[in-house]
Structure 1
């Protein structure tokens, strides 16, 4: 089996929790080098990949002719510079979401990847959440008829501000719209494509917070309204997804179990129930034709890496194209403009 020699740039939680265990569940990737200097991250890297070489300089990865793929799990404001260097060094790149803090940088990377004939993709793993896969099935199979309203939430209760780049106003790409919002936006675009108009209300609600920690984003389509919401002060959570259509409604509580498995150190290949939701959080389908709890689809984070391997070795089309990831940033920029100007932004 052809091996894709891989390097990680960065190995915080994005690497050790959300990427490495999933990559390790897919045959064909060999992790050769990891760029990190933090002692805790070095220890985690050596535990996960005992044979790996820990390096202190990015050049040690870029100048290694054996490296085929670089996985960037770095603060958002570093995505562009590290991806640009990787592509110029003729390395394929996977960038942790969100792609870049702005559309200009995303477009430049897309152009460079095309010029170099290299693969560039973004880790929008929550397309393969169990709950979203179920919602996608409901929409695509027409179980609600024509969908007229779609509402999705990514709420948490974290009333203390954490230290770190995600909540530092000095770093472009920080705040909840880039962090959790990029997931919700990507899912909506997967279902419905680009909206015609965007309206957003973005807030900083917690004491001592310096970056946005709550938002309501409205995407307007012909005959369809999409509402995306996230906040850090939601102690009592409502539905994760709520859809209405000409035939009825679908309401879904709870969340995909894969993240909790990852946080506990579990891996897909060692967990028989990986991605399987408990019956008590199955969504309720109520239409003119039937009323029932709909069994959730099985979550499948490994799909993204399996697709990446196939794209690198068999020319399979990327499941997450860089253009799709760039469009998420376009919506974020439109949302920020809408909030700043307190008006609906025509999207084009």
Structure 2
């Protein structure tokens, strides 16, 4: 069954907790754009704003009202990072399936507690890793799967922006879970884990570079691989002070290179208010800047056409729908949630201690991949 197909099951009712940037820009329109999901409830302190955008939804002031609603199947948490753990715990105890906007929590212990509780409650706990469905990342995955670059020895991933003014928001305050590493770094870490798995060790450097910065707005991580990917070195980099951006991806192998410029356009399109739908995607997610792929054959440089991929953040929610109806794997598994959170926390420890730290302990799988489908009503 394709993701575009209309499901035969009754709609799954979704409650969105939080209507800030993430809830308004990403989660609400993506949920609404997937057949078989119904945005039924939003918990927000700004009901007028929610109802102006989504007049058909029920708005509640407190998340507990959504958790107590027996009609709600799935709870999506799009609030400040420090609130993820208590809100997700309450939702799981109310026997709801839970999606958390990245990062899962602010400590590995909190994430492990939630994963264990989800398993006990026989409910799904997953994290919204939408950047797995960036057009450029999908193109890179195809090129690596083809093997035309040979053995990969260097992978560099940048997520740079130019935002010289420090905004008055929780992400930029000196709070647990704030800063660029747990924000944009969460995307880069998850993509790296998808491509290469867990590294041998990690070194992270953090800085506050903007005038008036109160938390990290620059990060530079080095990940070293050995047994699984001999000689591979990975750089994950992000900054809020890059007026002229360089490449998004730089990948070198023993037989060629992959270079891509520009960020996926889906976020900017969502910011304009456009609402995508699986039923009518049109030009949604098309990359205006295809990658450069260059390989060497018989000593000669040969450019290859980049794969024509289309990004689609709706895939996360479509796959979650299919999982809850017993037709697909969960989009981000418990083991992947644990490993990504562990890598972020390990990076913070590395930055404090100023040294490489082993990531071997992150290879453990903390919960099996289990289906907890919702029966057709």
Q: What TM-score range do you get, normalising by the shorter chain?
A: over 0.9
Which of residues 320, 341, 366 in structure 2 aligns to 1:308? Answer: 320
CA RMSD of aligned residues (A): 1.3
Larger CA deviation: 313-322 vs 134-143: 313-322
1:94 aligns with 2:99: yes
| Alignment match, 1:240 | 248
Counterpart for residue 30 of structure 2: 22
What residue is the counterpart of 2:4 in the other structure?
none
Aligned 8 A contact 1:16 1:44 in 2: no
Task: Write the distance in 2 (CA, Å) between the matches of 1:103 and 1:241.
Answer: 28
Q: Indicate if the aligned counterparts of 1:103 and 1:329 stay in contact, CA closer than 8 A.
A: yes
Partner of residue 163, structure 2? 158
Asked whether the equivalents of residues 115 and 125 of structure 2 are also in contact (C-alpha less than 8 Å), the reply is yes
SS at match of 2:16: strand
In the superposition, the TM-score normalised over structure 1's length comes to 0.95
Q: Report the secondary structure of 2:181's partner residue.
A: helix
Deviation of 1:47 (Å): 3.1
Shift of 1:292: 3.2
Q: Contact 1:201–1:215 (CA<8 Å) still a contact in 2?
A: yes
Please state if 1:297 is matched with 2:305: no
Cα distance between partner residues in 1 of 2:78 and 2:187 = 16
Q: Distance in 2 between matches of 1:146 and 1:319?
A: 28
Distance in 1 (alpha carbons) for counterparts of 2:281 and 2:40 = 26
Query: Is the contact made by 1:169 and 1:211 (CA closer than 8 Å) also made in structure 2?
Result: yes
Q: Tell me, yes or no, if structure 1 residue 36 matches structure 2 residue 44.
A: yes
Distance 2:81 2:324 in 1: 25
Following superposition of structure 1 onto structure 2, how do residues 24-103 of structure 1 map, counting pairs within 5 Å? 24-38=32-46, 42-103=47-108
* Residue 286 of structure 2 corresponds to residue 276 of structure 1: yes
Structure 1 contact 129–299 (Cα < 8 Å) conserved: yes
Query: What's the secondary structure of 1:285's corresponding residue?
Result: strand
Matches of 2:68 and 2:232, distance apart in 1: 50
Deviations 1:91-116 (A, max 9, x none): 11010111111110000000000001
Q: Could you give the per-residue CA deviations for residues 132-181 of structure 1, whole angstroms, max 9, x where no partner exists?
A: 111111112212011010000000011110001101113x1100000000
Give the match for residue 220 of structure 1.
224
Per-residue Cα deviation, 1:245-268 (whole angstroms, up to 9, x for no partner): 011111111111111110011122
Greater mean deviation of Cα atoms: 1-10 or 119-128:
1-10
Shift of 1:8: 0.9
Q: Which residue of 1 aligns with 2:140?
A: 135
Match of 2:202 in 1: 198
Equivalent-residue separation in structure 2 for 1:160 and 1:197 (angstroms):
34
Task: Report if aligned partners of 1:6, 1:31 keep a CA contact under 8 Å in 2.
Answer: yes
Aligned length: 342
Q: Following TM superposition, by how much is the alpha carbon of 1:124 offset from its aligned partner in structure 2, in angstroms?
A: 0.4
CA distance in 2 between counterparts of 1:315 and 1:72 reads 24
Deviation of 1:271 after TM superposition, in Å, equals 5.1
**Contact in 2 for aligned 1:2/1:313 (Cα 8 Å):** no
CA contact (8 A) 1:120 1:322 kept: yes
TM-superposed CA distance for 1:334, in Å, is: 1.5
CA contact (8 A) 1:33 1:54 kept: yes
The equivalent of 1:9 in structure 2 is 17
**Cα distance between partner residues in 2 of 1:30 and 1:88:** 22
Matched residue, 2:372: none
Structure 1 CA distance for aligned equivalents of residues 156 and 308 of structure 2 = 18
Q: Deviations over 1:174-221 (max 9, x none)?
A: 000000000000000000001001011111111111100001001100
> Does 2:265 correspond to 1:265?
no
Distance between the aligned counterparts of 1:3 and 1:337, measured in 2?
43
TM-score by length of 2: 0.88
Stretch of structure 1 that moved more, 322-331 or 224-233: 322-331
Secondary structure, aligned partner of 1:65: coil
